[in-house]
Structure 1
Amino acid sequence: MYNRDKSILYYSSTQQKDFIINLNIAHFTFNKHLTNGTYYLGKYLFTREPILTAKVKDISLLDLALMLEKDRKKYNKNKPLNSLSKSVLLVDINNNKTEIFFSIGKCIEYLRNKGLPANHTSLVKYINLGQVYHGYICKFV
């Protein structure tokens, strides 16, 4: 995944599923831009061939996912956004481990898999109040 002029490499993988899962890019959207050579969010280009002159951007996968999420909000500003489609950032207060979820539902599923009694109403309430929720600092991204 490069910038428009192919001078910066943000992310690379030999597997499409890495883009789809790690960066929350829809399968259809990824394939459309890869096949047509068009720009994702008007800024990013996917290619099958490496550009050897591109400079590799030293950015964590989490920071890249957050950057794309911000670009999606800007690029898709006319698209309706409800609380279920908002991304949630969780920070474990015990070990400072950070997780990003691209919907409240995925965040709740993660918390429930950890054995916590999570639900949509409570999670949104704690996010809005800025309070710790079952040992996690939660924020909308």
Structure 2
Amino acid sequence: MTILYYNSTQQIDFIRKFNIHHTTFTKHLNNGTYYLGKYLFLREPVLTAKVKDMSDLDLSLMLENDRIKFNKNKPLNSSSKPVILTDVKNLENTTVLPSLGKCVEYLQSKGLSASQVTLVKHINLGKAYNGYFCKFL
């Protein structure tokens, strides 16, 4: 709460100018949580905040870049969660992969057939797949 990038008395300004979904804006405003882990929407001004003189276009571009960074690191579903592979024959031999897709690529690089659908089934059942135990972190 040290920099004021933009202020308005109307929510619609944030929604239209900066492409923030109404539900998302309202959720962060009402809960006092940070949008994109960085921006805080408040009903009352913070008098100690320094005003940053930015054009709406520059602020919009900054928000778009932050969305890309934030959403790249945000797990959107189980397929984007990190996965740990453990060799059935040698339980000490484990590999951590950033996603289920990377896990499939890893297994295929070892000459094994693999698909995300089949891996998820084996993870949910707790069964080994092609000589590996796979689970979400």
Report the count of equivalent residues.
75
Distance in 2 (CA, whole Å) between partners of 1:38 and 1:20 is 17
Q: Mark the runs of 5 or more structure 2 residues left unpaired by the alignment.
A: 77-137
1:35 alignment partner, SS class: helix
> Helix, strand or coil for the counterpart of 2:35?
coil
1:35 paired with 2:30, answer yes
The 5 Å alignment of 1:29-108 reads 29-77=24-72
Per the TM alignment, residue 64 of structure 1 is displaced from its structure 2 partner at its CA by 0.1
When the two structures are superposed, what TM-score results if normalisation uses the length of structure 2? 0.53
What are the ranges of 5 or more consecutive residues in structure 1 without an aligned counterpart? 1-5, 81-141
Work out which of the two has the higher radius of gyration on C-alpha atoms and give 1 or 2.
Answer: 2
* Identical-pair percentage: 71
Q: Tell me how large the CA RMSD over aligned residues is.
A: 1.4
Q: Which amino acid aligns with 1:60?
A: S
Q: Deviations over 1:59-98 (max 9, x none)?
A: 1000000000000000111589xxxxxxxxxxxxxxxxxx
Q: Distance in 2 between matches of 1:37 and 1:65?
A: 21
More helix by proportion, 1 or 2? Answer: 2
Q: Which runs of 4+ in 1 moved over 3 A?
A: none
TM-score (norm. length: structure 1): 0.51
